[in-house]
Amino acid sequence: MSGPAAAVPVPALAARDRFMQGLGMELVAGGEGHATLRLRVTEQHLNFLGYCHGGVIFALADAALGLASNAHGEIAVALDAHVSYTTAARLGDELSAVASQLNRSRRMGTYRVEVRNAAGALVAHFTGTVYRTDKPVPTELP
């Protein structure tokens, strides 16, 4: 690359993410180093106990991480993530995930995501580490 990557618009990334779209995630806000997503828990998100599947909650946080860390314009790849589940999510709940950047060095980035329900209770606390490649985020889906 000949210079710093140009920031890419987060709405364009979110709009072409098939997994996010299929699960019903909505972008509330996003920019370099931050993103906020929303998801209403519907039948498709339920596990065999009738609660929102933990994989849905993780996916919502992970999607926010992906947008926040790729918005800088270069491809950032998740290396690891940790989630603590604190409150169950139920059918009809509206969840929001807010990703914020804790640190960004030449090669790495660390992000925290808080998932809350409409009452403001913490549903999950998520931490993720990304590796910053030198490749620009493509403006079209490959």
Interface residue list for its own copies (CB under 8 A) = 13-14, 16-20, 22, 43-50, 53-56, 58-60, 62-63, 66, 70, 75, 77-88, 102-103, 105, 107-108, 110, 112, 122, 125, 127, 129, 131, 137-138, 141-142
Residue (54 or 94) nearer to its own copies, CB: 54
Residue (2 or 67) nearer to its own copies, CB: 67
How far does CA 46 lie from the centroid of its chain?
Answer: 20
Task: Give residue for tokens 């993720």.
Answer: 128
CB of 34 to its own copies, least distance (A): 16
3-state secondary structure of 122: strand
Nearest approach, Cβ of residue 139 and its own copies (Å): 11
**Minimum CB separation from its own copies for residue 48, in Å?**
4
Q: Residues 96, 26, 42, CA angle at the centre, nearest 5°?
A: 75
Strands (E), the chain: 26-31, 34-40, 74-85, 94-104, 108-116, 122-136
Other CB atoms within 10 Å distance of the CB of residue 119: 8
Task: Report in angstroms how near the CB of residue 2 gets to its own copies at its nearest.
Answer: 21
